[in-house]
Amino acid sequence: MGLFGSIVDVVFGKEISKFEVMVTTGMHQFKDGANINCVNFQFKGKIGNSRKSPSTIVFLLTDSNEKTPMLSLIDDCRLNGDLDPRFMITAPLPPASDYEGYKNWINSGLYVPLELIRHPYKGSRTMMCGSFVVDNLSNLSLADSWITYHFATGNTDIIFDDFGYMDAHKNRDRVKELSIDLCMVMAASDGSLDQSELNIIKGWTYRDCQLIDDATEKAREKEKFSKYLKKSYSKAKKGEISHDHLVNEINKICDNSSKHNLIELLLEVISADGVFSSDEDKLLNKLVKSLDIDNETFNAMKNKTVLNVESIETDNVSLEGLLGITNEMSKNEKCDHLRKQYTKWLNQTTNRDPKIKDRAQQMIANISTLRSKFGCD
Amino acid sequence: MAIIGIDLGTTYSAIAVLDDIGNPEVLSSLDDSRVTPSVVYISANNKIIVGNKAKSAGIGDPNRVIKAVKKEMAYDDKVFDVNKGMFVQGNQDLKNTYSPAFISACILKELKNYTQDVKKVVVTVPALFSDAAKKATQDAANDAGLEVLELIHEPTAAVLHYSNIPGVNLSGNILVFDLGGGTFDVTIANVQGKKINIITSRGDTNLGGTDFDKEIFNLLSEKYKKEKGNSLDKKNGQYFEVAEKIKRILSVKEHASEVIDGPSGPLKIKITRDEYLKSIDSYLDRIKMLLDDCLDNEERKLQPNEISETLLVGGSSRTPIITELVTKKMGKAPVKGVNVDEAVASGAALYAGLLSKDELNAAQKDSIENIELQDITNFYLGTSALRLNNATQKYETYNSIIIPRDTKLPCSETKDYYTTYDGQERINIKVTSSATNEENIDFVDVIGEYALDLPPDTPADGRIDTTYAYDTSGIMHCETVHVSSGNTNGTDIIIKGTSSTKSNNDDNPFLNFDDDD
Q: Is A238 within the bounds of a domain?
A: yes
Contact A73 B206 (CB under 8 A): no
Per-window interface: B 453-512 vs A, CB < 8 A? 460-461, 497
Residues B430 and B347 in one domain: no
Distances in whole angstroms, Cα of residue A21 to Cα of each of B289, B302, B347: 55, 49, 68
Q: Is A294 within the bounds of a domain?
A: yes
Q: Is A88 within the bounds of a domain?
A: yes
Left (φ > 0), alpha (ψ -120 to 50) or beta: where does A69 sit? Answer: beta
Residues A59 and A115 in one domain: yes
User: How far apart are the CA of B392 and the nearest CA of chain A, in angstroms?
Assistant: 4
Contact B391 A297 (CB under 8 A): yes
Distances in whole angstroms, Cα of residue A137 to Cα of each of A10, A76, A90, A101, A140: 20, 19, 14, 20, 9
Residues B4 and B145 in one domain: yes
Mean pLDDT of A191-220: 87
Residues A57 and A132 in one domain: yes
pLDDT at B387: 87
Residues B363 and B277 in one domain: no
Which residues in chain A are contacts of B202 at CB distance < 8 A? 343
Identity of the residue numbered B41:
Y
Residues B361 and B416 in one domain: no
Residues A86 and A155 in one domain: yes
Helix/strand/coil (H/E/C) assignment for every residue in chain A: CHHHHHHHHHHHHCCCCCEEEEEEEEEEECCCCCEEEEEEEEEEECCCCCCCCCEEEEEEEEECCCCEECEECCHHHECCCCCCCEEEEEEECCCCCCCCCEEEEEEEEEEEEHHHEECCCCEEEEEEEEEEEEECCCCCCCHHHCCEEEEEEEEEEEEECCCCHHHHHHCHHHHHHHHHHHHHHHHHCCCCCCHHHHHHHHHHHHHHHHHCCCHHHHHHHHHHHHHHHHHHHHHHHCCCCCHHHHHHHHHHHCCHHHHHHHHHHHHHHHHHCCEECHHHHHHHHHHHHHCCCCHHHHHHHHHHHHHHCCEECCCCCCHHHHCCCCCCCCHHHHHHHHHHHHHHHHHHHHCCCHHHHHHHHHHHHHHHHHHHHHCCC
Q: Is B317 within the bounds of a domain?
A: no
Left (φ > 0), alpha (ψ -120 to 50) or beta: where does B144 sit? Answer: alpha
Residue B38 near residue B55, CB atoms below 8 Å: no
Q: Is A335 within the bounds of a domain?
A: no
Contact B205 A349 (CB under 8 A): yes
Which pLDDT tens digit goes with each residue over A286-308? Answer: 999 999 998 888 988 888 888 88
- Distance between CA atoms of A188 and A179, rounded to whole angstroms? 14
Residues in chain A whose Cβ is within 8 Å of chain B:
73-75, 82, 115-116, 118, 256-257, 260-261, 264, 294, 297, 300, 303-304, 307-308, 338-340, 342-344, 346-352, 354, 361, 364-365, 368-369, 371-372, 376-377
The H or E element spanning position B297 is none
Domain-ending residue, one of A162, A197, A219: A162
Residues A210 and A312 in one domain: yes
Tell me which residue in A307, A354, A361 faces B89 most closely, judged by beta carbons.
A354
Count of domains for chain A: 2
User: How far apart are the CA of A158 and the nearest CA of chain B, in angstroms?
Assistant: 20
Lowest model confidence (mean pLDDT) among A40-49, A198-207, A217-226, B43-52: A40-49
Q: Is B290 within the bounds of a domain?
A: no
Which residues in chain A are contacts of B497 at CB distance < 8 A? 352
Residue B384 pLDDT exceeds 70:
yes
User: How far apart are the CA of B281 and the nearest CA of chain A, in angstroms?
Assistant: 9
Mean pLDDT of A260-271: 93
Domain-ending residue, one of A306, A322, A338: A322
Instruction: Give the pLDDT band (50/70/90) at residue A107.
Output: very high
Which residues in chain A are contacts of B282 at CB distance < 8 A? 365, 368-369, 372
Q: Is A344 within the bounds of a domain?
A: no
DSSP three-state, residue B377: coil
Residues A158 and A256 in one domain: no
Which is higher by pLDDT, B3 or B392?
B3
pLDDT at B108: 96
- Which of A169, A339, A346 to mutate: most B Cβ within 10 Å? A346
Residues A144 and A192 in one domain: no
Residue B354 near residue B371, CB atoms below 8 Å: yes
What global pTM score does this model have?
Answer: 0.80
Residues B447 and B347 in one domain: no
Instruction: Give the pLDDT band (50/70/90) at residue A312.
Output: confident
Which pLDDT tens digit goes with each residue over A48-72? Answer: 666 655 788 999 999 988 889 999 9
User: How far apart are the CA of B196 and the nearest CA of chain A, in angstroms?
Assistant: 26
Which residues in chain B are contacts of A260 at CB distance < 8 A? 389, 391-393
Residue A72 near residue A118, CB atoms below 8 Å: yes
Which residues in chain A are contacts of B389 at CB distance < 8 A? 260
User: How far apart are the CA of A191 and the nearest CA of chain B, in angstroms?
Assistant: 30
Q: Is B265 within the bounds of a domain?
A: yes
pLDDT at B205: 86
φ and ψ at A247, to 5 degrees? -60, -40
- Which of B77, B86, B278, B289 to mutate: most A Cβ within 10 Å? B289
pLDDT at B76: 82
pLDDT at A161: 87
Instruction: Give the long-range contacts of residues B391-395, CB within 8 A, separation 24 or more.
Output: B391/A256, B391/A257, B391/A260, B391/A294, B391/A297, B392/A257, B392/A260, B392/A261, B392/A264, B393/A73, B393/A118, B393/A257, B393/A260, B393/A261, B394/A257, B394/A261
Instruction: Find the domain containing B142 and state its range.
Output: 1-166+339-373
Instruction: Find the domain containing A85 and state its range.
Output: 2-162
Residues B464 and B492 in one domain: yes
User: How far apart are the CA of B406 and the nearest CA of chain A, in angstroms?
Assistant: 16
Which residues in chain B are contacts of A257 at CB distance < 8 A? 391-394
Which is higher by pLDDT, B334 or A319?
B334
Q: Is B392 within the bounds of a domain?
A: yes
pLDDT at A15: 38
Q: Is A370 within the bounds of a domain?
A: no
Residue B515 pLDDT exceeds 70:
no
Residues B384 and B359 in one domain: no
Which residues in chain B are contacts of A348 at CB distance < 8 A? 443
Strand bridging mode B24-26 / B12-18: antiparallel
User: How far apart are the CA of B267 and the nearest CA of chain A, in angstroms?
Assistant: 32
Lowest model confidence (mean pLDDT) among A186-200, B216-230, B356-370, B491-505: B491-505
pLDDT at B66: 93
Q: Is B48 within the bounds of a domain?
A: yes
Residues A7 and A154 in one domain: yes
Q: Is B474 within the bounds of a domain?
A: yes
Which is higher by pLDDT, A233 or A50?
A233
Mean pLDDT of A274-280: 84
Q: Is B204 within the bounds of a domain?
A: no
Mean pLDDT of B69-90: 87
Tell me which residue in A260, A343, A361 faces B435 most closely, judged by beta carbons.
A343
pLDDT at A317: 57
Residues A23 and A85 in one domain: yes
Count of domains for chain B: 3
Per-window interface: B 282-301 vs A, CB < 8 A? 282, 285-286, 288-290, 292-293
Domain-ending residue, one of A145, A162, A179: A162
pLDDT at B190: 96
Residue B493 pLDDT exceeds 50:
no
Residue B75: which CATH number? 3.30.420.40
Instruction: Give the pLDDT band (50/70/90) at residue B93.
Output: low
Contact A344 B75 (CB under 8 A): no
DSSP three-state, residue B356: coil
pLDDT at A202: 92
Tell me which residue in B133, B390, B442 faces A304 most closely, judged by beta carbons.
B442
Contact A354 B391 (CB under 8 A): no
Q: What percent of chain A has pLDDT over 70?
A: 91
User: How far apart are the CA of B381 and the nearest CA of chain A, in angstroms?
Assistant: 13
Residues B141 and B239 in one domain: no
Contact A73 B285 (CB under 8 A): no
Residue A11 pLDDT exceeds 70:
no
Instruction: Give the pLDDT band (50/70/90) at residue B110.
Output: very high
Instruction: Give the pLDDT band (50/70/90) at residue A13.
Output: very low
Residue B500: which CATH number? 2.60.34.10
Which pLDDT tens digit goes with each residue over B267-301? Answer: 999 999 999 999 999 899 999 999 999 998 777 88
Residue A295: which CATH number? 1.10.3680
- DSSP letters, B146-198, are -EEEEEEEHHHHHHHHHHTSTT---EEEEEEEEE-SS-EEEEEEEEETTEEEE
Instruction: Give the pLDDT band (50/70/90) at residue B474.
Output: low
> Which chain A residue's Cα is nearest to B206?
A349
DSSP three-state, residue B490: strand
pLDDT at B507: 42
Left (φ > 0), alpha (ψ -120 to 50) or beta: where does B286 sit? Answer: alpha
Which residues in chain B are contacts of A73 at CB distance < 8 A? 388, 390, 393
Residues A248 and A292 in one domain: yes
- Distance between CA atoms of B127 and B177, rounded to whole angstroms? 12
Which pLDDT tens digit goes with each residue over B322-348? Answer: 999 999 999 999 997 788 899 999 999
pLDDT at A99: 65
Angle at B440 between CA A32 and CA B398, to 5 degrees: 75
Residues B18 and B162 in one domain: yes
The residue among A110, A10, A132 whose CA lies nearest residue A59 is A132
**Is the dihedral angle over the CA atoms A288, A290, A291, A293 positive or is it negative?**
positive
**Residue-averaged pLDDT of chain A:** 85
Lowest model confidence (mean pLDDT) among A132-146, A202-216, A221-235, B138-152: A132-146
pLDDT at A314: 66
Q: What percent of chain B has pLDDT over 90?
A: 62
Which residues in chain B are contacts of A323 at CB distance < 8 A? none
> Which chain B residue's Cα is nearest to A295?
B391
**Residue-averaged pLDDT of chain B:** 88
Mean pLDDT of A248-273: 91
Q: Is B224 within the bounds of a domain?
A: yes
Residues A137 and A92 in one domain: yes
Residues B263 and B367 in one domain: no
Residues B369 and B396 in one domain: no
Which residues in chain B are contacts of A364 at CB distance < 8 A? 286
Instruction: Give the pLDDT band (50/70/90) at residue B516.
Output: very low
User: How far apart are the CA of A368 and the nearest CA of chain B, in angstroms?
Assistant: 6
Mean pLDDT of B403-420: 92
Contact B388 A73 (CB under 8 A): yes
Which is higher by pLDDT, A178 or A97?
A178
Residues B75 and B109 in one domain: yes
Residues A184 and A313 in one domain: yes
Q: Is A339 within the bounds of a domain?
A: no
Q: Is A369 within the bounds of a domain?
A: no
Identity of the residue numbered A372:
S
Mean pLDDT of A32-61: 83
Contact A347 B444 (CB under 8 A): yes
Residues A297 and A234 in one domain: yes
pLDDT at A48: 67
